[in-house]
Structure 1
Amino acid sequence: MQNTTWGAIMGQPFGVIGYSNLGFVFDRDRIHEYQTYWPKEETGLARDVYIGFKYQCVEYARRFLTLKFKAAFTDIPHAHNIWALDIIEDCTKEEGTFPFVNYPNGSKEPPQFGDLIIYPYSKEQRFGHVGVILNVNLEEKYVDIGEQNYEEAGWECPEYARRLIMKIENGQYFITNKRIGKPYDNWDINEEIFGWKRIDFSQKQ
């Protein structure tokens, strides 16, 4: 069984570690330990990057994009607010952005590696949720997701947290919250998904 204590490594797909947030108890006196900043002097990027609050879902998503694509979205109040962002910062320059494009669930454009999957606010997910799409299999109709702080059950395996069924109807792509793999509680099976969000590298601004 995986170690799911706070800060334990749940997986490391593509060299980006996903950590457990299980058992986290906020201590205001330790807030500096929870917030992660990457100074440009240490990363070789052209600007400082605020990565996020350990080990929340937003922190994982921003860290993944920064490590794999050298781009980081701005600080936001909650995960669902990412859907409203129009741009993402190009960290290879002191100034500059890329368009940050929304593909609503049911789009004719399929998800791809590195897209963010965004959930809205709900009763169960009071701040929404964000994960990273790690793999898309159009033939077998599923996507693999990497994420932090979604639930207490840990990751399905070191390569991904959840494998979600994807429906393809009339040329439209729908990511569902129905999982392939070990059983979980079904509290989330009907949770809405906004869609996926992608960096448009062809349009430097």
Structure 2
Amino acid sequence: MGGGGSKAAFGSAIGTSPQGVVAHSSHYRSMRLADVARMSSYRDGHYCGVKWQCVEYARRWLLQVHGVTFASVGMAYEIFDLPEFYRPGTSDGGAPTPVRVQRYRDGEAPTAQRSDGDSSAAPQVGDVLLWHPQGHFARTGHVAIVVAVGADSETDGLTIALGEQNVTDASWKGLPFSRQLRVTRRGAAFAIEDPLPGAKVLGWVRPVLQ
């Protein structure tokens, strides 16, 4: 649901999440020579990634909204297996602070009650959604942020709205999300359907914010 349309020029703002995080087009064929020298993205002095890839948006959203980020990864899907996220060090020399994460595999029930009392495996706002490296997201996988959650009246399940980059590079058409995906419940497990060719969701990671 959602998405599509003509590609915007590289770097153009294509949409803004409900939390105020702007997404940009990564349509590399429209890059100008001046863009090549400025490919690194930063938020408050902290590195977010290469403009305007999916990992860059995920880091920037987490930093802007929660002051949290994650370690360097080679491919987007590797975020799922990171042992923790962290709060960056401060400008006055303060050390980075680890942030615990919870992982939920798509279509699989949680193995145990979470120690902080959170037993809900359903995707929540702020969850970091990951895709397997296959189909539309071959080799790299993909990462997006869940920016809103609502009821799906057709299936009695949920819909999640995504903030993301480097998928269609098209305008969000005034909506506060790039596209919506359906979430179905299977007992204690939840599964997310992505209609993009061959795309398969790996799961979602939830930073435990104190």
Alignment of 1:124 onto 2:128: no
Equivalent position SS for 1:194: strand
Q: Deviations over 1:148-189 (max 9, x none)?
A: 0012444364311011111112232111114xxxxxxxxx25
Query: Over aligned residue pairs, what C-alpha RMSD do you find?
Result: 2.5
Match of 2:60 in 1: 63
Which residue, out of 35, 40, 51, partners 1:35? Answer: 40
Matched-pair contact (CA < 8 Å) for 2:131–2:203: yes
Q: How far 1:76 sits from its partner (Å)? A: 1.1
Greater length-normalized contact order (CA 8 Å, ≥ 6 residues apart): 2
Match of 1:113 in 2: 125
Match of 1:185 in 2: none
CA distance in 1, matches of 2:33, 2:6: 29
Match of 1:135 in 2: 148
Q: Given residue 89 of structure 1, which amino acid in structure 2 is its aligned partner?
A: Y
Q: Deviations over 1:70-118 (max 9, x none)?
A: 0011121111111111111113652211112211112451110010110
**TM-score (normalizing by structure 1):** 0.79
Moved segments of 4+, more than 6 Å = 25-29
Matched-pair contact (CA < 8 Å) for 1:142–1:165: yes
Q: Given residue 11 of structure 1, which amino acid in structure 2 is its aligned partner?
A: G
Matched-pair contact (CA < 8 Å) for 2:161–2:177: yes
Match of 1:84 in 2: 81
CA distance in 2, matches of 1:154, 1:174: 27
Q: Deviations over 1:11-35 (max 9, x none)?
A: 1111100111124467899654011
Alignment of 1:146 onto 2:163: yes
Runs (5+) with no aligned partner, structure 1: 179-187
Alpha-carbon spacing, 1:195–1:110, altered in 2? closer, same or farther (3 Å)? same
CA distance in 1, matches of 2:104, 2:122: 9
Matched-pair contact (CA < 8 Å) for 1:50–1:75: no
Match of 1:159 in 2: 176
Alpha-carbon spacing, 1:28–1:9, altered in 2? closer, same or farther (3 Å)? closer
